[in-house]
Structure 1
């Protein structure tokens, strides 16, 4: 078979202001050009250890089983649920958007029975309803909550739920894919048993790894399973034997992506968590102010709006696809549209990690004004 001539790879240098991925710091790019070493080279072990320590800092945890899973944020969710859900296990899933809906499918594929708590899209989960449902179902093995719902731009407070779960056998599993690195995620302080995220949003690293942490309560549940975990690749105990002191081979680690994650985490550490959270909040408010002045209506409920993801309803007479296409083709700016049942109704603007800057806000607003004039 004759192949057509395939030229050098040349991609556009986009300003990524969608719901992820975000642009990454030049230091991350530089780290990825470091010479490749083997995943079994003794030199890699200190790099793995440093990456784990930085993740513990970010998660605000002392959990021994803390590591970046090879794969995107969805792999983090699969790792969380496949390790603890067995056939017939009950799980409460809180749903208020597209991505929390995916947790239902992951749990059901593990054989779990789902009890739904639904909230209107754009609204936070009703914490009182969660506690009521937990009381009514004391045999529930897992409570699944999404800290920040990327499809709508809303977050749900977790501290009170975590405190309640800590007094029960139920495991509190949290999806922090958009929020980790952009707002407070206090794993130990909020009594979260399993928490997972992704690297491509507020961590500003390539989309390739899923940071995840398990506390001892979760590890005890895994060790006391009635059946063997159905996937070798996502087995948390085996994974930690590779990342931990045993250095037992599990799978070929994506070394270059670990270089990138380590550097992205170093940048976060140097900035400091509180300063980083403050930057995301202040620049988010700047964006929201300008968008509302232009006639956009903020979609997520006031008081529960994500700092790193702003969702807005489009003014009458304008088309979501046309706006996004012009931003991309004429200004090199990528933003997101509505997802799921909100398709065509919203614009979603991400200000995540390295992409969260005043410069990007002013450039986006100027471009929108030109397009909509």
Structure 2
């Protein structure tokens, strides 16, 4: 008889900025029989997944596929594959995950320049464009939706400027893909990294990415150089030493695209059940419709913010650049934010998030993402938060939060 208990995780209402509740249809898909990675039935699923990713990323790019690993694996795959030691990289930072992009670029040996703006705000695109002219980077890496601060950065003007200057623009859209518009082609984004565990409502474990022909040309050029096939007189890039080879085998995009492309060259064993999950998650997104899905995220955000404000809570950060899928109420003075989170979890089975760095203990972060973005969830978190705050001694107008949210839902 086993000494270990049967696995039986508690049911939770997860209202964090990720991970969120997985759609039951996705969990069902993960239970399907395993196919071999070169079984024609499985390679058809790979092709369908790439096709659906093109629709979700809103791109005509040939290359749209997942990297096996959490969202950070996608970030690393793109940056490790594009950055060579000595490359100039610019990272505009408006929250915690901008610092992550800068760290990865530094580990790749880049000469990293950063510009920063106050947390809770985003950049005027012109500020970034001026920095691009000043630092003359070969690559700009930026977060689209910053979950640490609940802000979303406009990208269209930045993409246009980078394209005109022949600079690659790499975008972390982990928090936004499937929940708010990500216009890869229209905004002239060269490479975009998404995440499964947020607005797609798929468990963490894959990082959908897309990149265009500009990125592919750089990957192939680098591959030729590493194999000693390039003429050193052809370009400055070709003069790079062969020792500048990609330091990762697993995250080498040139090898991954050989695996996902028609040649199907073996690179790694595909995460079969996770691909089932992503395939089903993308199917659900497209069946709902992207515009309808974005509207659902907006209405639930409006109901949540109305309820929080009716409760007497203030919202952190600029509301003009607020990320629609993450809401950040300020923790009231005299209230222990972690005590509130603990009571919500253990008394009501609801999880909300704290924050990082200078915002730790100052704000809560409440996600309305994917399958978790439902009216029942919003009403439950408002009712429970009101009850816990009253229990902790915060005086508020009892009952007003849920009523304010219902007014939004009913159009009053």
Tell me which of 323, 342, 347 is aligned to 1:306: 323
> Cα deviations across residues 115-155 of structure 1 (Å, max 9, x unaligned)?
111011110123111111111233x1111110010101000
Once residues 76 and 313 of structure 1 are traced to their aligned partners in structure 2, the CA distance between those partners, rounded to angstroms, is 32
Once residues 246 and 124 of structure 2 are traced to their aligned partners in structure 1, the CA distance between those partners, rounded to angstroms, is 33
> Cα deviations across residues 250-309 of structure 1 (Å, max 9, x unaligned)?
101110000001001000000100010011011101101111111221112011111111
Structure 2 residue 188 is the aligned partner of structure 1 residue 191: yes
* Secondary structure, counterpart of 2:292 in structure 1: helix
Alpha carbon RMSD of aligned pairs, Å? Answer: 1.2
1:336-351 alignment, distance < 5 Å: 336-351=353-368
Once residues 36 and 132 of structure 1 are traced to their aligned partners in structure 2, the CA distance between those partners, rounded to angstroms, is 51
Once residues 211 and 117 of structure 2 are traced to their aligned partners in structure 1, the CA distance between those partners, rounded to angstroms, is 27
Contact residue 16 and residue 22 of structure 1 kept, 8 A: yes
Contact residue 280 and residue 351 of structure 1 kept, 8 A: yes
2:308 aligns with 291
The total of aligned residue pairs comes to: 370
2:91 aligns with 93
Contact residue 193 and residue 214 of structure 1 kept, 8 A: yes
**Structure 1 residue 220 displacement after superposition:** 1.3
Structure 2 residue 371 is the aligned partner of structure 1 residue 354: yes
Contact residue 119 and residue 126 of structure 1 kept, 8 A: no
> Cα deviations across residues 18-63 of structure 1 (Å, max 9, x unaligned)?
1101112211111111111122222210000011101010000111
Structure 2 residue 129 is the aligned partner of structure 1 residue 134: no
* Secondary structure, counterpart of 2:164 in structure 1: coil
Once residues 357 and 32 of structure 2 are traced to their aligned partners in structure 1, the CA distance between those partners, rounded to angstroms, is 40
* Secondary structure, counterpart of 2:340 in structure 1: helix
1:156-171 alignment, distance < 5 Å: 156-171=153-168
Once residues 160 and 168 of structure 1 are traced to their aligned partners in structure 2, the CA distance between those partners, rounded to angstroms, is 13
* Secondary structure, counterpart of 2:274 in structure 1: helix
Contact residue 152 and residue 311 of structure 1 kept, 8 A: yes
Contact residue 295 and residue 315 of structure 1 kept, 8 A: no
**Structure 1 residue 233 displacement after superposition:** 0.5
* Secondary structure, counterpart of 2:64 in structure 1: strand
TM-score, reference length from structure 2? 0.88
2:395 aligns with none
Tell me which of 201, 217, 230 is aligned to 1:204: 201
1:68 aligns with 66
1:368 aligns with 385
Tell me which of 203, 224, 238 is aligned to 2:255: 238
Once residues 198 and 99 of structure 1 are traced to their aligned partners in structure 2, the CA distance between those partners, rounded to angstroms, is 14
Once residues 84 and 182 of structure 2 are traced to their aligned partners in structure 1, the CA distance between those partners, rounded to angstroms, is 28
TM-score, reference length from structure 1? 0.97
Contact residue 113 and residue 135 of structure 2 kept, 8 A: no
Once residues 252 and 61 of structure 2 are traced to their aligned partners in structure 1, the CA distance between those partners, rounded to angstroms, is 17
Contact residue 89 and residue 113 of structure 1 kept, 8 A: yes
Tell me which of 326, 329, 347 is aligned to 2:343: 326
Structure 2 residue 236 is the aligned partner of structure 1 residue 219: no
Once residues 151 and 284 of structure 2 are traced to their aligned partners in structure 1, the CA distance between those partners, rounded to angstroms, is 26
Structure 2 residue 75 is the aligned partner of structure 1 residue 114: no
Once residues 264 and 344 of structure 2 are traced to their aligned partners in structure 1, the CA distance between those partners, rounded to angstroms, is 48
* Secondary structure, counterpart of 2:208 in structure 1: strand
2:225 aligns with none
1:143 aligns with 140
* Secondary structure, counterpart of 2:171 in structure 1: strand
